[in-house]
Structure 1
Amino acid sequence: MTAPARPAASAALPRARRWRRRLPWWTLVAVLGVIAALWVFPFVWMVSASLKSPAEIFAGGLDLVPEQLRWENYARAWTDGNFRRYLLNTAIVTVGTVVIVVVRCALAGYVLGRYRFPGSRLILGILVATLFVPTGYTIIPIVKLSMQLGLLDQLSGMILALSGGANVAAILIYAGYFRRLPAELEEAAVVDGAGFLGTFTRIMLPLSMPVTATVSVLTFLFTWNAFFLPLVFSFSNPKLRTVSVGMQAFVGENSTDWSGMAAAGVISLIPIVALFAFMQRYFVEGIAGSVKS
């Protein structure tokens, strides 16, 4: 009478084996889910705090549901906090910096990746060495040079100061990508009569769009979140403040407008999230293409 139970028992064995095989995968998913929740929680809490009153922020603790949606916090940050002007300044500075860095690093990466000349390794060594120089040590010559050029109280001076760094990571990403391109492309361009700049602008730069997207995103994030240099350049002219420096507008002598600061933080993060969501695929392709050689 026990014979009919054997097929059911034998069928249960493969299911148990499949479960044991998938257990590590489900465990990894659970661990990554917890890490993702912990990583996203501060942003979600800031969005929630931007819709609360200052008293509710401290009374609610980690509660994410506001008792009443206070959209006036965003209006206060936009008008009273002058974030309308700060956001425009940040956009101008960021776009200008990204353009200069992309052009400069693409040219430097093309030369270092495609050409071998005396001193090329020394140049790479000097570039890598600049990674260990703190920003604070370079601020004095940057400010002095900007004063001599009359650019200290202008957004153009801030753009040149932010884009004038070594940008070693961007140069190495471009160099790694250009190094693995076939030499036949350059030879065909030379046969067609193209010079150095013609080969670079017509062939090499269009082919490096994934890397350009990666460098653009990295430079965008760095410039948008920059604080030290914009703070120095806007000391004498508060109208030049960027969003990171403009957060000080919510800090008073006796109190801090935490809800307005949270609303300003959400406003300043929206362009970053939108850009990364739009260029995420190109960002990953550029990193993979520069590493693969």
Structure 2
Amino acid sequence: MSHSVAVATRSARTRRVGWWLLVAVLVAVVLLWVFPFIWMVSASLKSPAEIFAGGLSLIPESPVWENYRRAWVDGSFNTYLLNTVIITVATTVIVVVRCALAGYVLGRYRFPGSRLILGILLATLFVPTGYTIIPVVKLSMQLGLLQSHMGMILALAGASNVASILIYAGYFRGLPNELEEAAIVDGAGFARTFARIMLPLSMPVTATVSILTFLFTWNAFLLPLVFSFSNPDLRTVSVGMQAFVGENSTDWSGMAAAGVISLVPIVVLFAFMQKYFVEGIAGAVKS
């Protein structure tokens, strides 16, 4: 009996040691992962000379809050941030509605050519963005939308968004058929069934697609750069970073402050919606 107790005690001690080792490794990975962001916050409060002299030091000798004023006013990030919010929110709404409709049809209906459509969508995953920029710009120019918020929104929202469509399709495919049958009995058509029943049930997936689209649009660089090339007032935060890079020097402290300003909304959004993001991914994979 004493031997069994000793073995059980050693086994429990071994499990505890293994658990603490795992925790230590994960903490080290997390610190390594977030260190660049913490360093950027620190650099945003330093002078340019202190950034290079301080190395990896995270504590500023004397916080320089002027960097944020320079980024916000002199760097025009007040305008760039407003542009980014308008473009990102509008693009996200368009993409969510379009992908939800496409995912609903592909997930719930079988019709001639549905597999072909799905194959074409999957094929677009292998087409680099750079190859489509020329026709997008040419079409926007012909429509008179090249130097406008609407043109940039439509160009960003017009991507294939295959991953979002597949997430919706997988989720809708797993819903019971009785929902649609009950809606038909009540006299609901396609649009009403989708808007009143299916879309509200897909809120976890909608949150996931919204976050993914929001992140992609917020960080987009190539399309906003082309559309705002002749009109700096249309720049987004990602394009506006170039304002801190001159021909002979770079305002590193101002760029770090601008980087913090552009990342804060993303961090806040994900902090509030991470639960729905995980639920949406898990639901789509399970389906």
| TM-score clears 0.5 | yes
1:135 and 2:129 matched? yes
Structure 1 distance, partners of 2:266, 2:255, is: 17
Give the AA of the match of 1:265.
G
Alignment partner, residue 228 of structure 1: 222
Structure 2 distance, partners of 1:121, 1:22, is: 51
Give the AA of the match of 1:214.
T
Structure 2 distance, partners of 1:179, 1:77, is: 48
Structure 1 distance, partners of 2:9, 2:73, is: 62
Alignment partner, residue 215 of structure 1: 209
Structure 2 distance, partners of 1:17, 1:174, is: 46
Paired residue for 1:252, among 246, 251, 257? 246
Query: Match of 2:255, SS?
Result: helix
Q: What's the offset of the Cα at 1:25?
A: 2.1
Paired residue for 2:265, among 260, 265, 271? 271
1:96 and 2:117 matched? no
Paired residue for 1:242, among 236, 239, 258? 236
Structure 1 distance, partners of 2:172, 2:9, is: 50
Unaligned 5+ segments in structure 2 are none
Paired residue for 1:53, among 35, 47, 50? 47
Q: What's the offset of the Cα at 1:10?
A: 9.0
Deviations 1:125-164 (A, max 9, x none): 1000000000010000000000000000001000000000
Q: % of aligned pairs identical?
A: 80
Alignment partner, residue 3 of structure 1: none
Give the alignment's TM-score, normalised by structure 1: 0.95
1:81 and 2:75 matched? yes
Give the alignment's TM-score, normalised by structure 2: 0.97
Structure 2 distance, partners of 1:99, 1:181, is: 23
Q: Number of residues paired by the alignment?
A: 287
Q: What's the offset of the Cα at 1:16?
A: 3.0
1:189 and 2:204 matched? no
Query: Match of 1:75, SS?
Result: helix
Q: What's the offset of the Cα at 1:15?
A: 3.9
Deviations 1:181-221 (A, max 9, x none): 00000000001110000000000000000000000000000
Structure 1 distance, partners of 2:6, 2:272, is: 46
Q: What's the offset of the Cα at 1:27?
A: 2.1
Paired residue for 1:176, among 151, 170, 175? 170
Aligned residues: CA RMSD: 1.4
Give the AA of the match of 2:79.
R
Alignment partner, residue 148 of structure 2: 154
1:32 and 2:16 matched? no
Alignment partner, residue 203 of structure 1: 197
Structure 2 distance, partners of 1:184, 1:255, is: 65
Q: What's the offset of the Cα at 1:19?
A: 1.2
Structure 2 distance, partners of 1:122, 1:290, is: 22
Give the AA of the match of 1:17.
S
Query: Match of 1:252, SS?
Result: coil
- After TM superposition, which residue ranges in structure 1, 4 or more long, deviate above 6 angstroms? 9-12
Q: What's the offset of the Cα at 1:34?
A: 1.1
Unaligned 5+ segments in structure 1 are 1-6
Q: What's the offset of the Cα at 1:11?
A: 7.2
Q: What's the offset of the Cα at 1:31?
A: 1.4
Alignment partner, residue 118 of structure 1: 112
Give the AA of the match of 1:112.
L
Q: Which deviates more, 187-196 or 12-21?
A: 12-21
Alignment partner, residue 255 of structure 2: 261
Structure 2 distance, partners of 1:10, 1:28, is: 27
Structure 2 distance, partners of 1:114, 1:253, is: 56
Q: What's the offset of the Cα at 1:253?
A: 1.4
Paired residue for 1:18, among 5, 12, 17? 12
Q: What's the offset of the Cα at 1:12?
A: 6.6
Give the AA of the match of 1:129.
A
